[in-house]
Structure 1
Amino acid sequence: MTRLLLATRNAKKLVELRRILDGAGIEVIGLDDVPAFPEAPETGATFADNALAKARDAASATGLASVADDSGLAVDALNGMPGVLSARWSGRHGDDLANLELLLGQLADVPDERRGAAFVCAAALVVPGGAETVVHGEWRGTIARKPRGANGFGYDPIFVPYGGTRTSAELPAEVKDAASHRGIAMRALLPLLRALTVH
């Protein structure tokens, strides 16, 4: 079975990618499953910059085909922010609750019809000594007034996909995977990932 390194320590992202690639003949491992190596900080100007940098570092250090994604929430009323700053919007990286509270505070006076947003994902695949590929996925919706649901992570509890009434954090995993920005991006990589398994 082909091994694929997902360049993350986020256990929930790892579970999500394993679900998306289930049945593809690929063993997905994370950074905690390989020897530690220096990881460059995420300082890119775009999601694609950050994803490529992470995947390159991982492939170079381990010799494994590596996938990395960078994703975040782009809010229309905030001119596309928090964008690449999504994970550290409150000033502390990965503090989901603080990020949510700050964003909801910033949108407190924004009427429902102007609360449009999109989850955006750039996923990069780097094969050692081979090609580099970046794909994108986008999931449009609106920002709820308060968090709902216990599934997912990040901004999932306040993101309501267009056409629905439940937040991303209220959706069953298989429904979220089928529609989400990360699901779209990772499925776009599937033909390339499947090609790895025949070598």
Structure 2
Amino acid sequence: MDAWNKGIRVGQKKALKLEDIWRIRIRLELEKRFEELSLFNLAVDSKLRSCDLLSLKVRDVSRSGTVLSRTTIRQQKTHREVQFEITPKTQQALSQWIFTNHLEMADYLFPSYRRKGQHLSYHYYLTLVNRWVSDIGLDTSQYGTHSLRRTKASLIYAKTKNLRAIQLLLGHAKLESTIEYLGVEIEDALRISESCET
């Protein structure tokens, strides 16, 4: 049976705004939902697809008991390496999460509650994302797991208009993919590209 959306372009999920990030983050901190806070912060920082985010192991983000400020992983979909920053807030949340749960280097960073030796499922992650956005009054039909991948890229693009930088951060092979991903109009993209020529 074919997927309902096969061959149909479905609208992209919205990226979160800066104020949305802080509202979600503060709520998770106040409610002491430390795993969710770690997952949310890392999802925004890393700009990873769900499959790569959920399959991270402690060793991918930590060395000698210290959470790294920057790390590199190989993406499952493209097999290309992508590097990302782990901001101090995220480092703090991850350190607390790893220490409190006695996670070992070989453990999944976000282990499944039901399946021993497995990571959180995509379905559970989607449920969390829906809860986060609905808790701050956003329409869950407009947001999804990919919203978190797009969030930091959209914020950086809005500030810098640097498509090449976003391409590298997202690990896209082609600039056209980045243009489509960000929803940048072709005319705007060409104008930006021409203005950056040396």
Shorter-chain TM-score: what band? under 0.3
Q: Give the TM-score taking structure 1 as reference length.
A: 0.27
Which structure has the higher relative contact order (CA within 8 Å, separation 6+)? 2
